[in-house]
Amino acid sequence: MDARKIQLPREIHTGAGMIKETGKICRNLRLDGDVMVVTGPNTRKIGGDAVIESLLEEDYNVNDITIDNPSKSSVEAVQDEIKQCSLVLGVGGGKVIDVAKLASTRAAVNFISVPTAASHDGIASPRASIKDEGGNVSLKAEPPIGVIADTEIISKAPFRLLAAGCGDIVSNYTAILDWKLAHRLLDIDYSDSAAALSEMTAKMTINSADAIKEGLTESAGLVVKALISSGIAISIAGTSRPASGSEHKFSHALDIVAPKPALHGEQCGVGTIMMMYLHGGDWKFIRDTLKVIKAPTTAYEMGIEPEYIIEALQMAHTIRSERYTILGDRGLTHESARVLAEKTGVI
Ligand SMILES: NC(=O)C1=CN([C@@H]2O[C@H](COP(=O)(O)OP(=O)(O)OC[C@H]3O[C@@H](n4cnc5c(N)ncnc54)[C@H](OP(=O)(O)O)[C@@H]3O)[C@@H](O)[C@H]2O)C=CC1
Ligand SMILES: O=C(CO)COP(=O)(O)O
Ligand SMILES: [Zn+2]
């Protein structure tokens, strides 16, 4: 039996107005000492101030820092600031949460994830995507000890963010197909339980697609719980394989080649349509589900020119090349990339 350590959040709090309980939740988790609150320029007002107020009400000594990109320098800046702290809270979207997550891991202090949008599955995952010279790199990190998801705040976020979160969940379908393929071809370690959790999460979200509506706390709750569940599947597997396959390679490539990339979840959703086609699966079902959710299904809807879609498809196999997927080791030719994007209606 190979020795494994699985780290999972100890407490997950979801509900309208939950952010006001942050101070009490931290005290109940027996988290003492000074606290650092990390936010983004928009999310400082949207959630950061309420978190700070709640912590002050519980007599915490609170510092705060605002970051505007998920770079190595942002992580280092937060790490420098948290030298005297024993707890870090990331309050924002995926970029803020990733920076706070990695900085707290490196400083060996507790981290609590406070998503203000249900836009990605990094909320509870043991990964952090940080920009470096070559683009985004996915780094190992410690998952949060707690998650506080205020569905009131999340439901009021631009609906585009919720739809993007659904794209990141739907992407589990092709991620699992790629993982199974790599396991069969190359005997890559595979976790039935992580795959089952990831696939069930995607299925439940897709079956509820009609219920995912703008401004509803119920919709926010459904999607944020699914995203947390995807992050837990990553923790169980010890790799992002349950939620990241060829469709993510396409998205990461698009982040590099597109002058103005779309949201992570949007790109992953569109990538799932095309990679499901390559797998010979029901790509129209994926496309139609994303349409019901009002997530983008074309380059135009993502605001990305067709040429960058083709370029990203051709480049995708080179992203994390050790991770075998349906793209194979040689990837797509220009013509096959063009035909793929056209046949699936992406361009
Ligand atoms: N670690 C992991 O496992 C994973 C990490 N990721 C990473 O997450 C990032 C994508 O996250 P995503 O959230 O899509 O993008 P961002 O973090 O860039 O957030 C998008 C924008 O939404 C704003 N925002 C967040 N919440 C609200 C709100 N309630 N109301 C209004 N605006 C809001 C943010 O504001 P502000 O600028 O103030 O933050 C930001 O301007 C990528 O870097 C990706 O690599 C994705 C999946 C998994
Ligand atoms: O986005 C993710 C899962 O949805 C994380 O995956 P990566 O390991 O490809 O960054
Ligand atoms: Zn993702």
CATH code of 120's domain: 3.40.50.1970
Instruction: Check the annotation: does 117 bind a ligand.
Output: yes
Digit-coded pLDDT (tens) for 279-326: 999 999 999 999 999 999 999 999 999 999 999 999 999 999 999 999
Q: What is the DSSP string of 124-173?
A: S-SEEEEEETTEEEEEE-PPPSEEEEEHHHHHHS-HHHHHHHHHHHHTHH
Q: How far is the CA of 61 from the centre of ligand 3 (A)?
A: 34
Cβ within 8 Å of residue 204, ≥6 positions away: 226
pLDDT for the residue numbered 1:
53
Whether 269 lines ligand 1, by a CB cut-off of 6 Å, is no
Whether 247 lines ligand 2, by a CB cut-off of 6 Å, is no
Instruction: Check the annotation: does 163 bind a ligand.
Output: no
ipTM of the assembly?
Answer: 0.98
Answer yes or no: are the C-beta atoms of 195 and 176 closer than 8 Å.
yes
Which residues of the chain fall below pLDDT 70? 1, 134
Q: Whose CA is nearest to atom 2 of ligand 2?
A: 244
Question: Are residues 166 and 287 located together in one domain of the fold?
Answer: yes
CATH code of 304's domain: 1.20.1090.10
Q: How far is the CA of 182 from the centre of ligand 3 (A)?
A: 19
Last residue of a domain, one of 92, 127, 156: 156
Whether 122 lines ligand 1, by a CB cut-off of 6 Å, is yes
Whether 40 lines ligand 1, by a CB cut-off of 6 Å, is yes
In a domain, 2, yes or no: no
Question: Are residues 184 and 230 located together in one domain of the fold?
Answer: yes
Question: Are residues 42 and 147 located together in one domain of the fold?
Answer: yes
In a domain, 5, yes or no: no
Last residue of a domain, one of 123, 156, 189: 156
In a domain, 90, yes or no: yes
Question: Are residues 101 and 217 located together in one domain of the fold?
Answer: no
Q: Whose CA is nearest to atom 10 of ligand 2?
A: 138
**What is the best residue among 95, 125, 263 to mutate for testing ligand 2's pocket, by most ligand atoms within 8 Å of CB?**
125
CA distances from 168 to 20, 93, 312, 320 (A): 28, 14, 18, 18
pTM over cut 0.95:
yes
Whether 9 lines ligand 1, by a CB cut-off of 6 Å, is no
Answer yes or no: are the C-beta atoms of 124 and 90 closer than 8 Å.
no
Whether 267 lines ligand 1, by a CB cut-off of 6 Å, is no
Instruction: Check the annotation: does 86 bind a ligand.
Output: no
Last residue of a domain, one of 156, 181, 200: 156
pLDDT for the residue numbered 231:
98
In a domain, 243, yes or no: yes
Question: Are residues 133 and 218 located together in one domain of the fold?
Answer: no
Question: Are residues 165 and 250 located together in one domain of the fold?
Answer: yes
pLDDT for the residue numbered 134:
67
Cβ within 8 Å of residue 269, ≥6 positions away: 164, 166, 167, 168, 170, 171, 286, 290, 295, 296, 297
In a domain, 1, yes or no: no
Q: How far is the CA of 172 from the centre of ligand 3 (A)?
A: 9
**What is the best residue among 199, 205, 240, 246 to mutate for testing ligand 2's pocket, by most ligand atoms within 8 Å of CB?**
240
DSSP, collapsed to helix, strand or coil, labels residue 265 as helix
Q: How far is the CA of 175 from the centre of ligand 3 (A)?
A: 10
Q: How far is the CA of 137 from the centre of ligand 1 (A)?
A: 16
Question: Are residues 149 and 200 located together in one domain of the fold?
Answer: no
Q: Which domain holds residue 52?
A: 11-156
Q: How many domains, in total, are found in the chain?
A: 2
In a domain, 289, yes or no: yes
In a domain, 6, yes or no: no
Question: Are residues 180 and 138 located together in one domain of the fold?
Answer: no
pLDDT for the residue numbered 136:
76
In a domain, 3, yes or no: no
Question: Are residues 179 and 320 located together in one domain of the fold?
Answer: yes
Question: Are residues 110 and 174 located together in one domain of the fold?
Answer: no
Question: Are residues 274 and 171 located together in one domain of the fold?
Answer: yes
Up-side HSE of residue 210: CA atoms within 13 Å toward CB?
Answer: 1
Whether 241 lines ligand 2, by a CB cut-off of 6 Å, is no
Question: Are residues 58 and 194 located together in one domain of the fold?
Answer: no
Q: Whose CA is nearest to atom 1 of ligand 2?
A: 244
Answer yes or no: are the C-beta atoms of 331 and 314 closer than 8 Å.
yes
Q: How far is the CA of 146 from the centre of ligand 1 (A)?
A: 19
